[in-house]
Amino acid sequence: MILHQVEALAAAGVTDIVLAVNYRPDVMVAHLKKYEEQYNVKITFSVENEPLGTAGPLKLAEEILGKDDTPFFVLNSDVVCDYPFQQLANFHKSHNDEGTIVVTKVEEPSKYGVVVHKPSHPSKIDRFVEKPVEFVGNRINAGIYILNPSILKRIELRPTSIEQETFPAMVRDDQLHSFDLEGFWMDVGQPKDFLSGTCLFLSSLTKKGSKLLTPATEAFVHGGNVMIDPSAKIGSNCRIGPNVTIGPNVVIGDGVRIQRSVVLEGSRIKDHAWIKSTIVGWHGTVGKWARLENVTVMGDDVTIADEVYVNGGSILPHKTIKANIDVPAIIM
């Protein structure tokens, strides 16, 4: 997921990327370092020893972000969209103020924090209203910003929120603008949203005619939006798609049906299994004639026995499931 962001940033001319992490940094480092060369960017890891909120990590990385006076992008990693970095940078340069936040239109603004503009200005932000009861606008913070290094002076090195402290201060000084996002946007922090986000992302790749997608001329591809790693093996008489990604070294048996799912690296799906709206974790095994659906999430190295049905199970790593899970449950 984060790789899509790295790729889009590199394409927009970004040369330094700071990843602010506090969870399993070793895993992240091992995974991402190899891409530095491929995309010709320098990736630095800024590890928080204690969680610093959404603004604190920026202060922590002040040395890199503030090394010259060119603006920097800030991205929440669990946001998936058509990243508009180039247009965003151009727009930011044109207004000469300290910051620009990307906003997206939503149908139900009452669930989010809504951005309200100044009546006299098309982009300048007047205030934020958290979970509004009455309609005040339908644009919300999309979790992507471009900011001038000068804003680092506004942040103290302590747990602090960019949305609740830094941005309101910038609004008071008339320094914050919004930029409308075209196309899809999705916060994929939850597995359910992760699957929806994958669907949106794959659709957008299809629209762009991306070469990453498996061509629909393959007999097993059904309904398009299918991305299969070249190292994965697919059996005969399978029907895969729409909206499926299959990771490296995955082995899929005969007569397997997969739709709206993500199958991660090294997993094995045995013959005649049926999988929908499911995340098959790394090195997982799904038995013959098993049926997984309704946002089933398999952790690392989970095994589902032959003929077992799982309805919305969140299964923790290294478990073996031998009996049906009829109603959504967390399996410890």
Partner 1 sequence: MATKAVILVGGSQRGTRFRPLSLDLPKPLFEVAGHPIIWHCLAALTKIEVKEVLVIGYYDEYIFRDFIRDSSKEFPQFTIKYLREYEPLGTAGGLYHFRDNILKGAPKRFFVLNADVCCSFPLKEMLQLSDDREADAVILGTRVSNEAASSFGCIVSDPATKRVLHYVEKPESHISNLINCGVYLFDTSVISRINRARVIKTERKQTDPLYDPSDDTGSADVLRLEQDILGALADDKSFYVYETRDFWRQIKTAGSAVPANALYLQKAHQSASEDLAAASLNIIPPVYIHPTAKVDPTAKLGPNVSIGPRAIIGPGARVKESIVLEDAEIKHDACVLYSIVGWNAKIGAWARVEGTPISVTQHSTTVLKNGVKVQSVTILAKDCIVQDEIRVQNCVCLPYKELKRDVSNEVIM
* Active-site annotation, residues: 131
Least gap, CB of 317 to partner 1 (angstroms): 27
Q: Which is nearer to partner 1, 128 or 309 (CB)?
A: 309
Q: Rounded to whole angstroms, how far apart are CA atoms 301 and 269?
A: 13
* Residue number with CB closer to partner 1 (25 or 255): 255
Where do contacts with partner 1 occur on this chain (CB under 8 A)? 237, 239, 254-255, 257, 271-272, 274, 288-289, 291, 293, 307, 309, 326-327
**Complex with partner 1: residue 92 or 291, whichever CB lies closer:** 291
User: What does the alpha-carbon distance between residue 73 and residue 89 come to, in Å, rounded to a whole number?
Assistant: 9
φ/ψ (deg, to 5) at 270:
-80, 170
Q: Which is nearer to partner 1, 123 or 324 (CB)?
A: 324
Tokens encoding 212: 């990453």
Question: Distance between CA atoms of 203 and 241, rounded to whole angstroms?
Answer: 12
Say whether 289 sits in a helix, a strand or coil: coil
CA 57 from chain centre, in angstroms, equals 19
Residues, the chain, total?
A: 332
- The 8 Å CB, 24+ separation contacts for 198-204 are 198/80, 198/243, 198/245, 198/262, 199/225, 199/242, 199/243, 199/260, 200/80, 201/4, 201/80, 202/226, 202/227, 202/242, 202/243, 202/244, 202/245, 203/243, 204/82
